[in-house]
Amino acid sequence: MTDNKDSFTIKYEVFPGIYLFYHDIHSKKAMLNENFQKNEFSESENSFEILHCREGRMECRIENEFCYISRGDLLIVRKSQLSDMLYFPIGHYHGITVHIDINQAPKCLSCFLKDVAVQPANIRDRFCKNRPCFIARSNLAFEHIYSELYTVPNMIRDAYFKIKILELMLFLSVFDNKNDESLKRSVSPCQVNLAKTVGEYLTGNMDERITLEQITEKFHISATNIKNAFKAVYGVPFYAFIKTQKMESAAYMLEYTDKSILEIAGEHGYDNSSKFASAFRNVKGIAPNQYRMINKK
């Protein structure tokens, strides 16, 4: 369930009790595992998930704190710690989730490949036994494993999924679990509420040019607190957030509406198309008219 019809999740069963989810989210919030049917899995205490972020940003509420994963990050968490309804600060997230139900999954994957003596329960305990979750920053080995998962030919998909899941589990069985980024990514509820309140105000007034000084006066919060909250929640500075949100909104209009580029520029606070085109190119890498030509639905 999402608040945007252009978001979707696709599920594949790789092994008994081991599922692969592809997420393409264009929304501020979504249920990543909405494909799960009631009673399809055992109690969540016996399940864990491995989430990889390819693009965008995802918020996870773990106990009383919030943490965030961005491009290239890996999150390992017990299912019981992760809400199905998740928040995406920049309204954009592409990634893969591997869901493992310990009760249904093979106890040891050596039954599929003789030399792979990896037990899913051991992977869960290795990363989540004494902490609510584990976060690893972008790692070349993870990137290699996941990059191939994002471009799998349909004719070999089922067999290839099995190989890549075995590869991922084997790698995790020897991966250094001491360098946990989850504490560094922890953000207080107060900071999260501040960033979201201000962010919603900014995205609701995209046709205006709003300064940090105006925001400090409106919300009676210091500029330092606002900047720190934005960096923690959105992963970018205050003004970068405004610019990125405007260009993502403009990209959506270019793709899904017939409004002229000048109209779209005006709705995002630009009084001429050349300034808008320059800002759009800076964020999206190509000019607005090229983007529309490639992506128009």
User: Residues 211, 252, 292, CA angle at the centre, nearest 5°?
Assistant: 115
Give me 16's structure tokens.
């008994």
- The region of weakest confidence among 110-114, 163-167, 210-214, 218-222 is 110-114
**How would CATH label the architecture of 8-172?**
Sandwich (2.60)
On the question of pLDDT at 110 being above 80, the answer is no
Distance of CA 281 to the CA centre of its chain: 23
Alpha-carbon distance 77 to 185, whole Å? 14
Q: Each residue of 245-265: pLDDT tens digit? A: 899 889 889 988 999 999 999
Residue indicated by tokens 């309140």: 197
Q: In 3D, which of 8, 92, 95, 10 has the Cα closest to residue 54?
A: 95
On the question of pLDDT at 238 being above 50, the answer is yes
How long, in residues, is the chain?
Answer: 297
Three-state SS for 129? coil
Q: Each residue of 10-47: pLDDT tens digit? A: 999 999 999 999 998 888 888 766 555 444 555 567 89
Alpha-carbon distance 24 to 9, whole Å? 6
- Non-local (6+) Cβ contacts of 283 within 8 A are 243, 244, 247, 248
Three-state SS for 56? strand
Strand partners, 276: none
Q: Each residue of 174-217: pLDDT tens digit? A: 888 888 888 777 888 999 999 999 999 998 898 888 999 999 99
189-295 CATH:
1.10.10.60
Residue extent(s) of CATH 1.10.10.60 domains in the chain: 189-295
Residue extent(s) of CATH 2.60.120.10 domains in the chain: 8-172
The answer, as to whether pTM is greater than 0.85, is: no
